[in-house]
Amino acid sequence: MTIIEAINNAANLLSTAGITNARFDAEVLLAHFIRKDRAWLITHRDDTLNDEDRRDFDEAIQRRTRRKPLQYIIGNQEFWGLEFRVTPDVLIPRPETEFIIEATLAIMQKRNQPARIIDLCTGSGCIAVSLAKELTSAHVIATDASKKALAVARENARNHGVTDRIRYLEGDLFEPLEELDIRGQIDIIVTNPPYVRSGDLTALQPEVRDHEPALALFAGSEGTEIAAKIISNAPEYLKKNGALIMEMGLGQAEALKLMFEATNEYAKPEILKDLAGIDRVIVAKKL
């Protein structure tokens, strides 16, 4: 079977299974298993696949037809121009989460000092690692309730050479920070917390519902329960004018703004929209 025949057959199978970007996924999977890039596939479309590569490719296509996310099959996802290792133990990094990086850099570029940052619910570590790469004098503490997620995050820190500036701690939100002498010393708290309502489970795409970790997705019946804990506890750790930068779900902006206002600890929050025009990140500075 030639490369183009394998791609066409796989794309048909994926399309029948309801995969939207069937041909793209087929090309990415084949390129991964033969250790080439997609451009190479085009110029070698009439080359013949060897039996081992074809078996690996066919098995990967079967997993994708069962709606296993492409990123879990190939084991990585790009974020902020960097490649991150991902497994079913961590949420797959999304492009909209990059707005957290942009907001953090915008604040720290105005401050001529090394940054002290907390990353809550770090998952794959994509936020912590990206910030450590951008802010070369920054020190980051990253927490997560999942030991397996932290193992992935540590691997990503090693891969990108920032292990010495990120400290990973296991525990729920601020819990593992309680014994550290860092109260009132943090410049930025960043977080992409769980924010999906438990009642929205059946409405999610199969890739998300059946394969991504529920611990990283669901926050309770309202979807804002974890955000509320973060908002109420963050001021204890932030410096004056330190900022909490948090991703949020669709339609949650007004509820979160009210939570910030109710604490009397923050200035008026700023809402950042993603490329689709959806309120995606909320930024609030401590008074």
H or E element at residue 34: none
What number is the average pLDDT over the span 142-162? 98
> What local confidence, expressed as pLDDT, does residue 53 receive?
92
Average pLDDT, the chain: 96
Over residues 182-202, the pLDDT tens digits come to 999 999 999 999 999 999 999
Tracing tokens 């081992």 back to the chain, one arrives at 52
pLDDT tens string 46-83: 999 999 999 999 999 999 999 999 999 999 999 999 99
Cα separation, 158 vs 165, whole angstroms: 11
List, for residues 9-56, the tens digit of each pLDDT value: 999 999 999 999 999 999 999 999 999 999 999 899 999 999 999 999
- pLDDT tops 90 at residue 126: yes
Where along the chain do its domains lie?
3-66, 76-285
Which pLDDT score is estimated for 112?
76
CATH code of domain 76-285: 3.40.50.150
Concatenating the DSSP letter of every residue in 191-241 gives: E----EEGGGGGGS-HHHHHHS-GGGTEEESSS-HHHHHHHHHGGGTEEEE
Is the Cβ–Cβ distance between 81 and 111 less than 8 Å? no
Residue 146 has pLDDT above 90, yes or no: yes
